[in-house]
Structure 1
Amino acid sequence: MKIALAHFRVGETDGVSLEIEKWKQVLKQMGHEVLLLAGSEGQVRAHVIAELHYKHPMNEKFVYNAYDKMIDYDSEKEFVDDVVAFADIMEQKIVDFIASESIDLLITHNLLSLGWSLPAGIAFAKALKSTGIPCMALHHNFYWQRDRYLNPTCPTVTEWLETLFPPDLPNVTHVVTNRLYQDELMQHRKLSSAIIPNAFDFNAKVWGKDDCNASLRRDIGVTEDDIIILQATRVTERKTIELGIDTVAELQVQLETLKHRNATLYNGKTLSDRNRLVYILAGMPESSYEYTEKLRIKADNLGIDIRFINPLIDQSRSYFNGQKRYSLWDAYVIADFVTFPSVIEGWGNQLLEAVFAQKPLLIYEYPVYEKDIKKFGFDIVSLGNTHQIKANGLASVNSKNVKAAATKMAQLLTDEDAYTQMVQHNFKIGKMNLSYEALHLLLEPLIEEVKR
């Protein structure tokens, strides 16, 4: 079959882009021809529809007027007409792409669930109706899970959300990443769905230090002796990176105590004043300016050396304006520990990445982890499953949980056997349950059903 994977963007380091690349590889291994359709192509080749761009100025205008305040239009009709006209342009380009490339199956990622682009939802739904092409609509998130989309500025936006995100069409097979979302989709839209969790290529070459990433520590201003804690997710509010800062701050206290006891790190180095603790944030910055500043201020107040290194990180290694760009995987290579404190996730790419990279992992036990992932038996450092939002808008967990988590992190960082046992245990579980082979087995019957 000739299959097109569609999203707002591809070839970048956000979770959906990374998951699309995995699906592309597995579908190709299954013998299918795979094309990408997106608003931007990043570091891969794709058919680009400019109107689909994640940050298209017109879409950002529509988003503000639909969900925040109607300021650019004198009436609901004027707004609706503008959105529909923009969607019509996109629809024609989608239809032309399907016809010109003789696409047999369209697989959309979040385009028909999130509500970020109303024109995209309208355009793809209309294109699916007019062409009748089979479609697998993968929903990583739903609009009703985001506060931003819950109070539309006019009734038509509510109607669009409730009928198009996702649409109930005979040629659309709905796919979600977890059981919670499966239940939500049935509850909100009375639509059944298949479950396909995130996966990873556990047969790939293990990431290691090489001539390229040997300079990454130098380029971000840290030494070989520094202890690196990595946050690999996008920098955005729902990743609640502040929980990671709280824990790293407590870890710093724990390590200072261990320095006086001449402890030895898991890598054989003696723990001393040469070993600074550095918290690096490698993901794309997609938060509000206010949130990023809150993180900077919080880290500064707690004495944490925090580095936003995304300008040096891309989906794959490259050079840009003479500056070396590293892959996200290179950031894992130099890390000693990984934090993943998100309170809400559709699944959790970074969890699998840390497992493959054989790095120990700090997590907040978000709902999908508890319901779909915990059963596999990963050995992790936990912040628990209960949090509060403080007056400043930042999340917090019980201080006892933070201290206990930091204590366990310190123990692992100073115990080679425990460190090695944990990461090898997790790798074995990941390879057994969440590999490309597992994804192949889930996709094969679904595609056969779609073909019929």
Structure 2
Amino acid sequence: MRLGFVSTRFAGTDGVSLEALKWAEVLEEMGHEIFWFSGLSDRPEEVSMCVPEAFFGHPENQWLAKRIWGHTQRDPTVTERIQDVAGYLKEMLRRFVDRFQIDVLVPENALTIPVHLPLGVAITEFLAETNMKAVAHHHDFYWERDRFAVNAVPDFLDMSFPPRLPNLRHGVINRQAGEQLARRKGVSSILVPNVFQFEKEPPGIDDYSRDVRSELGLADDDIFILQPTRVVPRKGIEMAIKLVARLKDPRCKLVISHQAGDEGFEYVEMLKRLAAEEQVTLLLVGDRVGENRQRDKQGRKVYTLWDLYPHADLVTYPSTYEGFGNALIETFYFRKPVVVNRYSIFVQDIEPKGFDTITMNGYVTHDVVERTRMLLADEDRRDEMVQTNYELGKKHYGYEHLKKELAALFAF
């Protein structure tokens, strides 16, 4: 079939863009053709249609966002502009479908989280009017995010996020999301967790990445503890600092791979103060890590996250909430030992599969510290742990598993 992926953005390394690409790779292996519709795109022009008004950062959408989130009443003008933008995007979708002769639409989070409300309305109306087959890939629902709790558009949310249509199938990334979708919307779904290509060996250290440690400020005998996440409160990075502090080993250095600022700078400033108080060396290297290998304005190397993993001795993943946990699965893929906080999706979906990790329950206990210390000192134990996790990851979160789930979703 000819499948049309639809979202507000298919560009860069955000979770939706990356997971959509994995779906596309597997679906192409299964014989389907893939096309892309979005407001911001880095996909090949010959198979994509880019409509700037579909991007969540477009000025018109930003104007609407300021008036519908955090308010409980909306002006008639806001309603009119939502409908106008939705009408325009619906026409663009029609042109997209006609141009590429699309058989099935695949909304990627566009009917899930309302960062672009008119786009969701446009997709809903288009599907209702054409009865076209569609498979929605849901990553994070609006009811999971506090910022959408107070709003002036409950009617639009009920209609389109997601809609209840007989021609629309739903794929969710965790069991909890599927249960909530059934309770709130009365629709069934298929569980399709995020995946990695475990069937392909992860990249190792090459000539470009050989100097990662020295370039990031680590000595050869330092213990490289990697926190491979954004710097936002739900990542629980203060627990990682507490853990490193209680290890009482000056060789232990905590390296945070991503830039701060997504949700302001208060959290990162708190982490810096905490690290200073606990006498922990905290390396914020987000300015040296990017989507691609390149040189920055100072002529310094910029690495990818995948350049950092092979050098790490331990990964910390102390998140308090995750929609799934891509960085955790990535850690299994790179065969690295991990300390993980038992966030709800981990407890419900990932832990029961038997992964070998050091776990904590919202705080760093003496047992967690001692187990971590022993793990860092025992190479055989580390090898056993990471190989177990790699094999389980391949079984439950590899491309072969994804192929089975997609076969069920797209069996029209």
TM-score (norm 2): 0.91
The residue type paired with residue 354 of structure 2 is: G
| Contact 2:198-2:333 at 8 Å conserved across structures | yes
- 1:61: how far off? 3.4
Partner of 2:14: 14
Structure-1 separation of matches of 2:76 and 2:174: 38
Partner of 1:219: 215
Correspondent of 1:174 among 170, 174, 179: 170
Structure-2 separation of matches of 1:333 and 1:19: 22
Structure-2 separation of matches of 1:82 and 1:378: 49
The residue type paired with residue 398 of structure 2 is: S
The residue type paired with residue 374 of structure 2 is: Q
Structure-2 separation of matches of 1:67 and 1:123: 19
Structure-2 separation of matches of 1:138 and 1:284: 28
| Contact 1:229-1:278 at 8 Å conserved across structures | yes
SS of structure 2 residue aligned to 1:314:
coil
- 1:136: how far off? 0.7
Q: Is residue 319 of structure 2 the alignment partner of residue 342 of structure 1? A: yes
Distance 1:10 1:292, change over 3 A: farther
- 1:305: how far off? 2.7
Partner of 1:406: 369
Q: Is residue 25 of structure 2 the alignment partner of residue 49 of structure 1? A: no
Distance 1:294 1:163, change over 3 A: farther
Q: Is residue 190 of structure 2 the alignment partner of residue 194 of structure 1? A: yes
Distance 1:7 1:222, change over 3 A: farther
- 1:283: how far off? 6.2
Structure-1 separation of matches of 2:6 and 2:276: 41
Partner of 1:307: 283
- 1:102: how far off? 1.4
Partner of 2:117: 118
Structure 2 counterparts to residues 32-431 of structure 1, below 5 A: 32-42=32-42, 46-69=48-71, 76-152=75-151, 154=152, 157-251=153-247, 253=248, 255-256=249-250, 275-282=251-258, 285-318=261-294, 324-384=301-361, 397-400=362-365, 403-431=366-394
- 1:354: how far off? 0.3
Q: Is residue 411 of structure 2 the alignment partner of residue 442 of structure 1? A: no
Matched positions, count: 409
**1:135-163: CA deviation from partner (whole Å, max 9, x where unpaired):** 111111111111111111x3xx1111122
| Contact 2:239-2:363 at 8 Å conserved across structures | no
Distance 1:37 1:248, change over 3 A: farther
**1:181-206: CA deviation from partner (whole Å, max 9, x where unpaired):** 11100111111111111221112132
- 1:43: how far off? 7.8
- 1:230: how far off? 1.7
The residue type paired with residue 288 of structure 1 is: G
The residue type paired with residue 429 of structure 1 is: L
| Contact 1:13-1:283 at 8 Å conserved across structures | no
- 1:279: how far off? 2.2
Structure-2 separation of matches of 1:63 and 1:237: 23
- 1:351: how far off? 1.4
SS of structure 1 residue aligned to 2:98:
helix
The residue type paired with residue 303 of structure 1 is: Q
Structure-1 separation of matches of 2:60 and 2:183: 32
Distance 1:38 1:221, change over 3 A: farther
| Contact 2:171-2:189 at 8 Å conserved across structures | yes
Structure-2 separation of matches of 1:144 and 1:196: 20
Unaligned runs of 5+ in 1: 257-274, 385-396
Distance 1:43 1:318, change over 3 A: farther
Structure-1 separation of matches of 2:374 and 2:109: 40
| Contact 2:112-2:138 at 8 Å conserved across structures | yes
Distance 1:276 1:362, change over 3 A: closer
Structure-2 separation of matches of 1:44 and 1:412: 46
TM-score (norm 1): 0.83
**1:112-132: CA deviation from partner (whole Å, max 9, x where unpaired):** 111222122112212222343
Unaligned runs of 5+ in 2: none
| Contact 2:316-2:339 at 8 Å conserved across structures | yes
Structure-2 separation of matches of 1:50 and 1:211: 39
Structure-2 separation of matches of 1:422 and 1:399: 21
SS of structure 2 residue aligned to 1:368:
helix
CA RMSD in angstroms comes to 2.4
After TM superposition, the structure 1 stretch with the greater mean CA deviation from structure 2, 436-445 or 14-23, is 14-23
**1:360-385: CA deviation from partner (whole Å, max 9, x where unpaired):** 1111111121112112100111112x
SS of structure 2 residue aligned to 1:448:
coil
| Contact 1:365-1:382 at 8 Å conserved across structures | yes
SS of structure 2 residue aligned to 1:303:
coil
Structure-2 separation of matches of 1:9 and 1:410: 43
Matched-pair identity in %: 33
Structure-2 separation of matches of 1:235 and 1:435: 28
Distance 1:216 1:141, change over 3 A: same
